[in-house]
Amino acid sequence: FFLGLTATEKKLAEYKCNTNEAIQLKLVRFPEDLEDENTTFNPEYSHQVFGDDEVAFGYKGLKILLYYIAGNLSTLFRIEYTSRVNEKFDCVEADDVESKIREIIPPGFCTNTDDFVSLLEKEVNFKPFGMLLHTYSIHNEEAGEDITYQIYKADMTCPGFREYHERLQTFLMWFIETASFIDVDDERWNYFLVFEKYNKDGATLFATVGYMTVYNYYVYPDKTRPRVSQMLILPPFQGEGHGAQLLETVHRYYMSSPTVLDITAEDPSENYVKLRDFVLVKLCQDLVCFSPVKLMQGFSQEMVTEAQQKLKINKQHTRRVYEILRLRATNMGDAEQSRSYRLDVKRRLIGPYKKKQRELAKMRRCLRPEEMTNQLNQIDLNLQREQLEESFQQLVSDYRRVLERLAQA
């Protein structure tokens, strides 16, 4: 009996597919892209659709094709496999992969390649939505030329944008770990989109590169605080500097508005924080309050005020900008300068520890002694020193990376 079971189990194990590998994404510009392996990319995550183990059961050689036309993102969705378990013989049912994908992609997609290719011919009519905010170009080694990109601000009143956004946001599921779709009927959302201009048969076409959603929170009595919610540069375009262009453009857009208090971000990822450090330091480095002389005098209210009024940067982020720019102005080989910098940053880092100690002091007053020792053991002073030093070293290496990127910009 047990032998039989393992044989069956072995057989069934062959019908498990890793969904991150099975899902094949493409942004298609030319019919030949369909056959070109180099244009295919895979998700980083599929757990929101296929569960934590990111497995689809019941197929061998499973391919889940999700191809998008580069500009307006019209979609081709097909499932291919070499074989599938059969209820009659194998007494098990294959996962319903199709309905899982249908839950996140909007209706109206193609299921066969011919329909998709004929839609591709209409792509020449696709134009970006909304208002043009910024144009920039990046030199492309492979193409041996400069490629032009544009950033637009759109909203749900733009004809066709609602449907386009429904297709665009499906990418979040594959590339942002905790992604969720937003309520587009709430008018306080702003959408910022990046497009690449490219040529096809003598015409200029636009390809989707990435986007950002920002929610405008109301701040009493008459201000708003825009909060970055989602930001995604599509994988074929990552690492080219589009994220920095997008974030800087969004900051500049809100900077011109007298009713905006400052810009924040919702639950930012590590990568987003690195990007933001770079963009904010780039924006702040020329402010009078960040001159080397003033940096050496320490963090000041003047920095907070100027960064908020001119650049819509909040206090917490201004403090990081100060630490990064002060590192640049500090000769770390000089014992005195380096010690002064270290103390300055550690004084900020120790804040949370101090808070914990105040909480412990409160507990001391109301806990029995034996309960207290447990709590105290958690905060060993040596450990605290070590953690503090570790945090400091980590920060300095992050800050150096920002400064390196700035030096190249």
152-174: per-residue pLDDT in tens? 999 999 999 999 999 999 999 99
- Catalytic residue among 14, 93, 98, 266, which? 266
266 catalytic residue (yes or no):
yes
Residue ranges in the chain whose pLDDT is less than 70: 1-6, 87-90, 367-380
Cβ–Cβ under 8 Å, residues 25 and 43: yes
- What pLDDT score was predicted for residue 1? 47
Residue type, 265: A
State how far the Cα of 346 lies from the Cα of 244, in Å rounded to an integer.
29
Neighbours of 207 (CB within 10 A): 23
State how far the Cα of 68 lies from the Cα of 75, in Å rounded to an integer.
5
Q: Which helix (H) or strand (E) holds 135?
A: strand 131-140
* Alpha helices for 93-228 (secondary structure H): 97-104, 113-120, 161-168, 170-175
- What pLDDT score was predicted for residue 142? 83
pLDDT tens-digit profile of 227-260?
A: 999 999 999 999 999 999 999 999 999 999 999 9
Neighbours of 77 (CB within 10 A): 17
- Which tokens hold the place of 263? 């810009």
SS3 28: strand
Omega within 30 of 0 (cis) for the link into 258:
no
Residue type, 229: S
Rg (CA), the chain: 26
- What pLDDT score was predicted for residue 112? 93
- What pLDDT score was predicted for residue 385? 84
State how far the Cα of 71 lies from the Cα of 94, in Å rounded to an integer.
35
Q: Which domains occur in the chain, in start order?
A: 7-123 (3.90.360.10), 127-267 (3.40.630.30), 295-367+379-408 (no CATH)
State how far the Cα of 332 lies from the Cα of 311, in Å rounded to an integer.
29
SS3 225: strand
State how far the Cα of 80 lies from the Cα of 86, in Å rounded to an integer.
16
- What pLDDT score was predicted for residue 377? 56
pLDDT tens-digit profile of 77-90?
A: 999 999 888 766 66
| Entry pTM | 0.89
Q: Which residues of 319-358 are buried (b: 16+ CB within 10 A; e: fewer)?
A: bbbbbbbbbbebeeeeeeeeeebeebbbeeeeeeeeeeee
- What pLDDT score was predicted for residue 204? 96
- What pLDDT score was predicted for residue 159? 95
- What pLDDT score was predicted for residue 248? 97
Residue type, 87: E
Q: Are strands 223-233 and 75-80 parallel, antiparallel or unpaired?
A: unpaired
